[in-house]
Amino acid sequence: MSSRGLFITVEGGEGVGKSTNMAFLEDYLRAHGVDLVVTREPGGSCLGEDIREMLLQVRTELMSPMSELLLIFAARAQHINERIAPALAAGQWVLCDRFTDATYAYQSGGRGITIDTVQRLEELVQGNLRPDYTLLLDAPVSTGMARARGRGELDRFEQEALDFFERVRETYLQLARASTGRYRIIDANVPLEAVQRQLTAVCQEFLPGMGVGHTAS
C-alpha cells in the first residue's frame, strides 16, 4: 500500500505570480519524478468550476460575504471528495493553486467574517485534511495590482479597493508567522528568475531523498 502523498498549496494576493509559478513548480516536480495532480481553488471539479464562475463574475447584485464563503466551501467539499483526497490516498502529490488559507485571507481578513466561522467550516468540510506545505508568494499590493491590471479586464475580486488587498496580504503574513513549519514565504517582488530560484530551493526540502519529507505544524 502506498503512503499518503504530499499536499502542497500556493498562495498569495492578486497578481503576485501564482499561475506563472504553478506552471514552473509543476514542470520542476514532474521532472524530478513526482506523480502529481495539479489543481486550483475555487474550482478543481466540474461543480467547483461552475461555482468559480459564479464567484468571479461581476454582478449588479451584491453577493453577501456569507454567501461567498459558503459557495467557496461548497466548491471545496466537492474538490476534496472528488480529487484531493483520492489522489493523496493513492500516494500522488497534490499541487493546489490556493486553498483554505485564501479563505482566511480574503473572507476573514478582506471581508471581515470571523476567524471562528471559517475554522468551523474548515473542520466540517476538511476533517483533518490540511496542506503539508504552503508556499506564500509575497509582494507589495501595489506590485501585484500593477501586474494584474496589465492583464486587462478585472474580475469581481480584482475590483476591490487597495485596503482590501492590504488586509489580505497582512492576514497571509500572520498565517505564515503562526505556522512556520508549514509555510515558506517567497519574495515575489523580484524578477521571475529570482522567484524561481527560491522555489527550487524550497523544493529541495520535500523532494524524495533530498530533504525532510512530510512536515506540518
Q: Is 11 in the site for ligand Z5A (CB under 6 A)?
A: no
Residues 177-206 that bind ligand Z5A (CB under 6 A): 188, 191-192, 195
Q: Is 79 in the site for ligand Z5A (CB under 6 A)?
A: no
- Sheet holding 133-138: strands in order across? 36-40, 93-97, 7-12, 133-138, 183-187
Closer by beta carbon to ligand Z5A, 150 or else 209: 150
Number of residues that bind ligand Z5A (CB under 6 A): 27
Q: Is 16 in the site for ligand Z5A (CB under 6 A)?
A: yes
* CB-nearest residue to ligand Z5A: 17
Q: Which x/- pattern over 56-75 shows residues binding ligand Z5A (rule: CB under 6 A)? A: ----------------x---
Q: Is 42 in the site for ligand Z5A (CB under 6 A)?
A: yes
Residues 112-131 that bind ligand Z5A (CB under 6 A): none
Q: Is 138 in the site for ligand Z5A (CB under 6 A)?
A: no
Closer by beta carbon to ligand Z5A, 97 or else 138: 97
Among 5, 7, 14, 185, binds ligand Z5A (CB under 6 A): 14
Owner of C-alpha cell 480529487: 83
Residues that bind ligand Z5A (CB under 6 A): 12, 14-20, 41-42, 72, 97-98, 102-103, 106-107, 147-148, 150-151, 157-158, 188, 191-192, 195
